[in-house]
Chain A
Amino acid sequence: MALTDHCDVFASFHEDGFNRIVEHIMQQRPSLFNYATPDLVQSPDRLCERIVVHPAVSQAENPLIKQIDYLPIIGYDGPFGFSFGLQLTDLKIDFHPGNIINLPPQLNPPLSEQTLALTARACAGLSCPDPEFIERLIRLLPDPDDEKDKRDDSPKPPLNPMPYERLTCFCLEVFAVVKAVRQNGYLSLRLQGMEIKDILPAGLEDSIECYISTMLKLVVFPKVRIALEDLTFEITDYLSVEPTPISADVPFNPDVSKDQIAIFANLI
């Protein structure tokens, strides 16, 4: 059977190749996968995981890390906050049928048709401040009686990190089941389910899963969508094509099966 029996242009990427693409994206767009407070942006070597980047990132003075605010100390109104970093590493994809990633039982393995499994390590690090510094800070706290007449009660974002020796790090293994969809000329990912291994209690696990899944949906997936025409190696510079409509012959477009993702297009 020919690859173009039911279309004019066919492009497919095997999961091994797609994982190479993911590696290149992580190395050339590190700020999509690394988030940290300003002090860690200045000293990325203090983060939990070393960031491997393509030399062009530094040459172009692209950020390695997306800067986030210092983590506030709830109820404390002073200028200090926690340093914090969150990193996604070791991102891997496994197209149906699953044979690279062992999905946890909560995601109902085996991988269902037309889906792909995704795994990554989510590593977070929090600065635990030097106790002496906390003691000094306590001495500088305003007298609660002086606070009575304070009019402005709105919280202010902390502006400075508390001194610390090193981040306290932990890494979680994240698993997800994702659907590849075609949307407005782009290949995008839609999260179907997510699971983080070995966290108790369940409420903590659910909360972290909720946070990371929201981050994937709102931040990472929208920014790594790939234009369908870019999957066809610029053949569309030469030919006018449109996606092949769904039919009995082409039931899925894109088609995630046989360890690859494939797209079909017809001449206009």
Chain B
Amino acid sequence: MSHVNLAVSEAAFGKLVDKLTENISFSKTDGGDFGPFTASYSAGVRFEGGDIDLKDSPDEVVINELDVIYDPLSLTVGIDIPEICVGGFCIIPNPFGGCILRAPRICLFEGDPDASFTLDLGGLIESEISGGFNVVARYFNNPDHAGLTDHQAHEQDKANEWQFFLDPRWLDLDIIDISDTVGNILDGIIDAIVDDLLGGLPGWAKDAIRFVLGGLADLIRGILDIGDDIDEWLSDLLGVSLGLFDFILTFIADKLANENPVFSFEDPYPMLPTSGNLIPVLLPIRNVNPDITNVEFVMTADVG
């Protein structure tokens, strides 16, 4: 029989996981060149909420609907519109050859990008993570402990530890909702870009461009490959093209599995604290085993 049993109810384990996930966050900036346009994002991501469900056979901690909070999330897009020149045609031809008066030649969209805009998506995208995890106990050999006795390491906060991690078996990120306002904001931005790009041109030039290119707004939508479904476009851009959602999953999986234990304690364990000049009483803890049932998390261990 094990010397020690420590059991934590499902509700209490949920609190442990809450504290754990609330302390995980990151900021990241990344981008890519996708030919006719470039895109980059700047994201701050943290996690909130979620429910815990413990399962037996196999042991699994299921985290359901952990909210991914984007705060902030800005998407910057640069658009390279194919260069187009209008005008330059002859208004008064010279009967002896050549041209007496030509219309001015105007070339547009020579830059790269020709236009850029930033979408502030903070609070406009709702996504959730769900996953199944095994609880694994690992022994952390604190590198700062080297050369110290266990008691010295304890006093200097450099003790070794038993740590319990959530090792993912499966992990999903679902986009729950992209606010309708994103479509309206994007439409407004594209209209503003069109006005900005063509604003200084004479009417005939605008007509000529419209004749050659069709509607500029439609052209921009085409360049960005925005179809009828803004949500799908945004989700693909952030998730597939820029890999943000994969990064979030990889990040949280690594944090939970390797960096942020759900629970840890020193080894040897301080059972009696320092008293005056007397050293603390430290207990070596051995044979640590985590177990999950349908209703609780149980740790068994022996006193060495």
Contacts and interface: CB of A to CB of B under 8 A. Distances in A.
A9 B12 contact: yes
A267 B12 contact: yes
B173 to A, nearest CB: 26
Interface string B268-296: 01111101011111110000000001011
Nearest to A3: B7
A55 B8 CA distance: 35
Contacts of B293: 2
Given A8-B8, A59-B151, A233-B299, A17 B277 contact: no
Contact of A230 (B8, B271, B295): B271
A241 to B, nearest CB: 8
A12 interface: yes
A62 to B, nearest CB: 6
A4 B265 contact: no
Contact of A4 (B4, B7, B280): B7
Contacts of A220: none
The A interface, classified by DSSP as helix, strand, loop or mixed, is: mixed
B148 to A, nearest CB: 11
A25 B270 CA distance: 11
A44 to B, nearest CB: 17
B11 interface: yes
A24 B9 contact: no
A169 B266 CA distance: 41
A215 interface: no
The B interface, classified by DSSP as helix, strand, loop or mixed, is: strand
Contacts of A59: 149, 151
A117 to B, nearest CB: 19
Interface in B4-30: 4-9, 11-12, 15-16, 19
A31 interface: yes
B277 A62 contact: yes
A132 to B, nearest CB: 41
Contact of B282 (A8, A28, A224, A233): A28
Interface string A11-36: 11110111011001100110100000
Given A17-B303, A62-B279, A238-B16, A267 B3 contact: no
A3 B298 contact: yes
Nearest to A56: B151
Contacts of A219: none
Nearest to B20: A238
A10 B282 contact: no
Task: For chain A, give the interface size range.
Answer: 35 or more
Interface residues of B, number: 42
B7 A24 contact: no
A25 B269 CA distance: 12
A234 B269 CA distance: 9
B150 interface: yes
B3 A56 contact: no
B302 interface: yes
Given A28-B282, A56-B150, A60-B277, A14 B2 contact: yes
Interface string B113-136: 000000000000000000000000
A134 interface: no
B5 A226 contact: no
B304 interface: yes
A111 to B, nearest CB: 19
Interface string A56-83: 1101101000000000000000000000
A13 B3 contact: yes
Given A9-B9, A234-B265, A239-B15, A24 B4 contact: no
Contacts of B15: 238-239, 267
Contacts of A227: 273
A107 interface: no
Interface string A185-207: 00000000000000000000000
Given A14-B1, A20-B3, A25-B272, A8 B281 contact: no
B263 interface: yes
Given A2-B293, A234-B265, A29 B8 contact: no
A169 B295 CA distance: 56
A60 B279 contact: yes
Nearest to A260: B5
Interface string A114-151: 00000000000000000000000000000000000000
A108 B19 CA distance: 50
A8 B9 contact: yes
Interface string B139-166: 0000000000111000000000000000
B15 to A, nearest CB: 6
A46 to B, nearest CB: 23
Given A9-B9, A11-B7, A238-B15, 5 more contacts: A8-B8, A20-B302, A24-B281, A24-B303, A234-B265
Interface of B: 1-9, 11-12, 15-16, 19, 149-151, 263-266, 269-273, 275, 277-283, 293, 295-296, 298-299, 302-304
17 contacts: A2-B296, A4-B7, A8-B8, A10-B8, A11-B5, A11-B6, A17-B303, A18-B3, A21-B283, A21-B303, A24-B303, A25-B281, A57-B279, A227-B273, A238-B19, A238-B263, A267-B11
Q: Which 7 pairs of residues, A with B, have the shortest CB-CB distance? A: A17-B3, A3-B7, A4-B9, A20-B303, A8-B12, A56-B151, A10-B7
